[in-house]
């Protein structure tokens, strides 16, 4: 009887510990644990699962932010590259050079606004 009770209590805790060990070893965050066992252990498992869900959501928001920032920076950087290549041409008029430099300043302002 006491062996059965000890197993009933420790099995869910071992499952929780194994999930935590797996996360530490692999970095994978898709390990939900069964919410079983005595009330306190089941509550601990439920809190663990909610915590993992929150962490996964946070990482997903971070991933989307990085993708969005990359996209927002790509356009002005492409324009800066094109304009800097144009400035290397010897046949540009002073007016064209002035216009290109103005465009470069605008692109730098856009990048500054994005990164602020």
User: Please, which residues have CB within 8 angstroms of residue 48's CB and are 6 or more apart in sequence?
Assistant: 16, 19, 20, 33
Q: Could you read off the pLDDT of 75-98 as tens digits, one per residue?
A: 889 999 999 999 999 999 999 999
Domain range for residue 98? Answer: 2-115
Average pLDDT rounded to a whole number, residues 52-56: 95
The Cα 16–Cα 70 span in angstroms is 38
Q: How many domains does one find in the chain?
A: 1
Task: Give pTM, 2 decimals.
Answer: 0.66
């Amino acid at each position: 009887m006491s062996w059965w009770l000890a197993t009933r209590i420790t099995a869910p805790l071992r499952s929780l510990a194994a999930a935590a060990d797996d996360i530490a070893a692999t970095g994978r965050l898709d390990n939900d644990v069964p919410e079983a066992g005595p009330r306190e252990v089941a509550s601990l498992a439920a809190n663990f699962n909610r915590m993992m869900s929150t962490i996964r959501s946070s990482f997903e928001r971070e991933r989307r932010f990085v993708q969005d920032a990359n996209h927002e920076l790509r356009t002005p950087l492409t324009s800066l590259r094109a304009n800097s290549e144009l400035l290397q041409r010897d046949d540009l008029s002073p007016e064209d050079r002035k216009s290109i430099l103005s465009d470069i300043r605008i692109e730098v302002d856009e990048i500054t606004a994005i990164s602020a």
